[in-house]
Structure 1
Amino acid sequence: METLIRKRPYIFILTLLLILMPAGCAQKAHVPEGFVYVKEVIPSAELDIRYYGSNNFTGRPVAGYRAPTAILSLQAARALANVSKDLESQGYAIKIFDAYRPQKAVNDFITWTKGADDSRIKSKFYPNIDKKDLFMAGYLASKSGHSRGSTVDLTLMDKKKGQELDMGSHFDYLDPVSAHGSPMITAHQTANRELLKTTMEKYGFKSYSREWWHYTLTNEPYPDRYFDFDVDE
């Protein structure tokens, strides 16, 4: 009994510490082994996670996005950190729109293509194609590389001006103008895309021909696995 009484204060203190522990201390519990929060590896990265909100081609939050954060495989995050360091030395910073994407989000895209069009959203994101044709055109897929955890959608920021570089089209503008090598943009816009592309490739990423913002780690650690844990903090 005396031993139990002596231990009680310590038990109380431990319980109190667990109750008062900041939510951020438990953050890693939501990330499977082999994955990291991008901001933990690249604190300077700006996040604009579009599928958490409504500023995306669906016009609403997408399933599986429970927080406006970015998650990647450890290998992809480390490679992206090298990209960021290189670009920062040139006066630029990276801005991330999407990284790991759960399979449930991809399934949500499939469901969305079967619904009615919102003319306002269509004019902003896919004005020249029917939503039902987005899969056939290569803009959407039933299995996304994002779900493997080593694909990232991003752009460049001018650190001094605090503005995005002009890439000739905005993120998720599902149109040929967003393709690498598009003749529909200016030389300056092409140069901005090339700066991002050459730097990403320098550190082991490969581009996607139809989308200037889309890059995948060439030696990705999970080439055949598609994950479905939520994007959460």
Structure 2
Amino acid sequence: MTAPAPFIDLIELCPTLRLDIRYHGSDNFIGLPVDGYEAPRAWLTGPAARALVQVQRRLELFDLSLKIFDAYRPQRAVDHFIRWCDSPCDPQLKTLYYPELEKSQLFEEGYLNRHSTHSRGSTVDLTIVSCDGATELDMGTRFDFFGPESWLDCDSIPPQARANRLLLQRLMVEAGFIPFHHEWWHFTLRDEPYPHTCFDIPIR
């Protein structure tokens, strides 16, 4: 199924990209499939998708690949996160994803927002893996770990993890993306085409 305008399906554009769409399943910080993720697909606006392919091509020269955790995010998914914050806490998920914070603080600290940049269609969460997708480069924390260890300027993670983060950041910035200080995996296209629009088209 082709992505609806104004989006492009990343795998249709670049089949060598790796996908691990966490919000389609339960391997994520809320422990459930998230509203709006009806298929494990990754969509971005055309300019963001084409910029991302530039990064992929550079990594392929070194037998590496991008792996996408999340791209366009429907507003209904953001609304699901808001409702989740009012539900009882799962201690196991808290330990894995936000050990030093309470749910309400995830909004206060800027890890979650009521209107996500993802819903504008030009933000992507990703990491670097081996070309076969079997091995992730060490980035110091898991995806969606909410704490200072995930910040770009964290110096308490191993040197190799810091180097890997810098590699990802440099490649993405050179392709036109802006990193998010609190999340090493999160990048938004600098010249995004819909900076004031939150889309709510379900991913199918």
Task: With the length of structure 1 as denominator, give the TM-score of the two structures.
Answer: 0.86
Counterpart of 1:230, as a letter, is P
Matched, 1:71 2:43: yes
Counterpart of 2:80, as a letter, is D
Q: Distance in 1 between matches of 2:137 and 2:188?
A: 21
Deviations 1:137-179 (A, max 9, x none): 0100000000000000000002378300000001001111001
Other structure's SS at 1:157 match: strand
Query: 1:35-114, aligned counterparts within 5 Å?
Result: 35-114=7-86
Deviations 1:71-94 (A, max 9, x none): 110111000000100111122100
Query: 1:69-218, aligned counterparts within 5 Å?
Result: 69-159=41-131, 162-218=134-190
Q: Distance in 1 between matches of 2:150 and 2:15?
A: 28
Identity value in percent? 47
Q: Distance in 2 between matches of 1:61 and 1:40?
A: 24
Post-superposition offset of 1:33? 1.8
Counterpart of 1:141, as a letter, is N
Q: Distance in 2 between matches of 1:160 and 1:46?
A: 8
Which residue of 2 is the match for residue 19 of structure 1?
none
Long gaps (5+) in structure 2: none
Q: Distance in 2 between matches of 1:138 and 1:199?
A: 24
Long gaps (5+) in structure 1: 1-26
Which residue of 2 is the match for residue 226 of structure 1?
198
Q: Distance in 2 between matches of 1:70 and 1:212?
A: 19
Q: Distance in 2 between matches of 1:33 and 1:166?
A: 35
The 3 A distance-change label for structure 1 pair 161 and 154 is closer
Q: Is the 8 Å Cα contact of residues 67 and 133 (structure 2) preserved in structure 1?
A: no
Q: Is the 8 Å Cα contact of residues 151 and 182 (structure 2) preserved in structure 1?
A: yes
Q: Distance in 2 between matches of 1:218 and 1:83?
A: 15
Post-superposition offset of 1:46? 0.7
Q: Distance in 1 between matches of 2:94 and 2:139?
A: 20
Q: Distance in 2 between matches of 1:183 and 1:78?
A: 32
Q: Distance in 2 between matches of 1:100 and 1:160?
A: 24
Other structure's SS at 2:107 match: coil
Task: With the length of structure 2 as denominator, give the TM-score of the two structures.
Answer: 0.98
